[in-house]
Homo-oligomer: A and B are copies of this chain.
Amino acid sequence: MDLLAFLNLNELSLGMSKLSMYPLFDIAHYIVSLMALKEQPGAMAVARRSPFACWFSSMLFCFGGAVLSNLLLAEPPVAPLSNDGNVLLASIIWYLVFYCPQDLVYRSAALLPIRLVLSGMKEVTRTWKVLGGVAQAQKHYKDGILVMIAVGWAKGAGGGLISNFEQLARGVWKPETNELLNMSYPTKVTLMGAVLFSLQQCQYLPLQTHHLMFIYTVFLVVNKTSMMLSGSPSWLFSPVEGAAYRVLFAEQPTDLATAATPKAPRAPGRTPSSDTCAAPKQDGRAASESQNGSAASESDGEAPTESETRGEDQTPSGVGGSKKTD
């Protein structure tokens, strides 16, 4: 990493890698996560109706990654509760975010500059969680790179991946949508991180751990901040994804048809098949959302400015968009 050395960032990254997440960064993570929960439609009604269900759901938002990664590795999913300090901290913040008189805490934290700082700090915890998950998996499966990716991803984006069951605790059930069918930005970026850290830990990447931590963290924070400031989804790799999708997964026109009518509108011929599939799903989703009185959920604890990223961001639509530019 001559570049990093040149920029004299070696020591900075080494110092950063020794940062303790507890308590400051963890607090930021809890605040941002619980604000995202509070912003879910129907969440406040549950908070009034059953504080306990709200607390349980909040703990899944805050510790979902640890719960899921422990489940995957057959370690006790109840383990996060054994960390009294963190649970106490998360519970206090839960109380302040949901029940503070005048809603002071939520309103203060929702001010853009404060939210920006908190969201940035939350993104820092993501690096630590992904790396923690990868290392945890490596203890069980020394060379199991796929297991390392899966567990790192689960630990970093657990809240989103188990959102169906977190919602169930609040009495909401939306089977037609999940993070696998329709990945949100945090889920994608965490998967990317899990792949990078797994490759690095298996020494397929010519990088030291703290360098990768530094690069990935900076990428996360910059990306998140610019998304919040611009208010638009700026998932850098959309073009790459779209291209990969078109090459690997799109329906290929038959050779005969291409040969016979090379300029015929094959693309429209293709579109309906995928659109007709997608349309009823999305209708169903909209219908169920209005039934449940709740719109798209953000279970990974993200700012609402991202809730618009889904839908636009999903691969087939991305492809549809790029088709128009063909």
Q: A residues touching B (Cβ–Cβ < 8 Å)?
A: 42, 44-53, 56, 70-79, 81-82, 84, 87, 95, 99, 101-102, 137, 140-141, 144-147, 150-151, 164, 168-173, 175-178, 180-183, 245, 248-252, 254-255, 273-274, 277-278, 280-281, 284, 291, 293, 314-316
Residue of B nearest to A188 (CB): B52
Do the beta carbons of A181 and B53 come within 8 Å of each other? yes
Given contacts A48-B251, A78-B73, contact A181 B175 (CB under 8 A): no
Q: Which residues of B contact A75 (CB under 8 A)?
A: 74
Copies of this chain, complex-wide, total: 3
Do the beta carbons of B254 and A181 come within 8 Å of each other? no
| In the bound complex, CA of A79 to CA of B99 (Å) | 42
Residue of B nearest to A75 (CB): B74
Within 8 Å by CB of A164, from B73, B168, B280, B281, lies: B168
Given contacts A47-B249, A87-B146, A277-B49, contact A173 B176 (CB under 8 A): yes
Q: List 12 A-B contacts (CB under 8 A).
A: A49-B281, A51-B248, A51-B315, A72-B77, A73-B78, A74-B77, A78-B137, A81-B146, A99-B249, A164-B168, A171-B176, A171-B177
Do the beta carbons of A72 and B76 come within 8 Å of each other? yes
Further 5 A-B residue pairs, CB within 8 A, beyond A49-B274, A50-B183: A48-B249, A49-B316, A52-B183, A84-B146, A169-B181
Q: Which residues of B contact A255 (CB under 8 A)?
A: 102
Do the beta carbons of B171 and A140 come within 8 Å of each other? no
Do the beta carbons of A245 and B72 come within 8 Å of each other? no
| In the bound complex, CA of A266 to CA of B312 (Å) | 44
Tell me if A's interface is mostly helix, strand, loop or mixed.
helix
| In the bound complex, CA of A288 to CA of B81 (Å) | 34
Residue of B nearest to A55 (CB): B180
Q: How far is the CB of A79 from chain B (nearest CB, A)?
A: 8
Given contacts A74-B74, A150-B81, contact A248 B180 (CB under 8 A): no
| In the bound complex, CA of A173 to CA of B288 (Å) | 13
Q: Which residues of B contact A49 (CB under 8 A)?
A: 181, 274, 277-278, 281, 314-316
